C-alpha cells in the first residue's frame, strides 16, 4: 500500500512504485475510473490501447488474415490501389 498527500490545489504525487507498475512517465496522462463505488487510476494511453484492441478483436479472422504474410499482401494491395487512384 502506498500513501500520498493531497496539496491545497488538489494535486497528488503518485508514488514511484505505482508509476512503475502503471507505466506512467513524465508528461503522461492518467485516467480516473469510478466503478462500484471505487476509484481506479490508469495510464490513459494503455486504456486507449486496450479499447482499440477490443474494437479490432476478430477483424483479422474476418479479413482472412492468418499470418504475417497475409498482412503484408493486404498492405501491398492497399498501396497498389492508392497509387492507381
Question: Can you give the pTM of this predicted structure?
Answer: 0.54
- pLDDT at residue 2 in the model: 87
- pLDDT at residue 81 in the model: 85
- pLDDT at residue 8 in the model: 97
The conformation of residue 37, written as its DSSP 8-state character, comes to T
Q: Is residue 7 part of a domain?
A: no
Structural domains counted in the chain: 1
- pLDDT at residue 85 in the model: 58
Distance from the Cα of residue 15 to its chain's centroid: 21
Per-residue confidence in pLDDT tens, the chain, 85 aa? 889 999 999 999 999 999 999 989 999 999 898 999 999 998 888 777 778 788 888 888 888 888 999 889 989 988 988 876 5
Can you point out the beta strands (E) in 1-85? 30-35, 38-43
Q: Is residue 59 part of a domain?
A: yes
Q: How far apart are CA 22 and CA 33, in angstroms?
A: 14
CA angle 39, 43, 47 (to 5 degrees): 90
Q: Is residue 43 part of a domain?
A: yes
Please report, in angstroms and rounded to a whole number, the separation of the first and last CA atoms in the chain.
59
Closest CA to 4 of 42, 13, 22: 13
Give the domain extent around 53. 16-84
Q: Is residue 61 part of a domain?
A: yes
Q: Is residue 60 part of a domain?
A: yes
Q: Is residue 42 part of a domain?
A: yes
Q: Is residue 1 part of a domain?
A: no
Amino acid at each position: 500500500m502506498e500513501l500520498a498527500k493531497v496539496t491545497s490545489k488538489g494535486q497528488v504525487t503518485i508514488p514511484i512504485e505505482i508509476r512503475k507498475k502503471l507505466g506512467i512517465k513524465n508528461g503522461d496522462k492518467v485516467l480516473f475510473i469510478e466503478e462500484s463505488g471505487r476509484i481506479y487510476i490508469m495510464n490513459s494511453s494503455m486504456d486507449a490501447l486496450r479499447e482499440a484492441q477490443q474494437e479490432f478483436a476478430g477483424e483479422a479472422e474476418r479479413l482472412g488474415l492468418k499470418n504475417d504474410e497475409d498482412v503484408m499482401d493486404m498492405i501491398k494491395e492497399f498501396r497498389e490501389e492508392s497509387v492507381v487512384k
